[in-house]
Amino acid sequence: MTENEKEVAKAAAVASVGAGVGGAGGASVGVLELAAQGAATGLTAGVVIGVSAAAGAVLALLGYKVYRNLTKPKGAGEAK
């Protein structure tokens, strides 16, 4: 496995963890309770949870990229 493939695998793992956290956050906001009371439909609750999962994945991936940029050795990109 090349270094590039390892980085892609790490980024995918970070995004999947972020999606799980975002989905759990979307579900805990109370959307499911509103759906149970009839104030929101099941479809609406599903959309909110899905959007939360996508947002969590994006934020986790961006955070990982920032982390990788900050921890990259200073001379890594300069050698030709």
Q: Is residue 18 part of a domain?
A: yes
In a domain, 7, yes or no: no
pLDDT for 80 equals 46
**Domain around 32:** 13-70
What is this structure's pTM?
0.61
pLDDT digits (tens, 9 = 90+) for 11-60: 777 777 777 777 677 666 666 666 677 766 767 777 777 887 888 888 88
Phi, psi of 79 (to 5 degrees): -75, 135
The tally of domains found in the chain comes to: 1
Residue 52 within any structural domain of the chain: yes
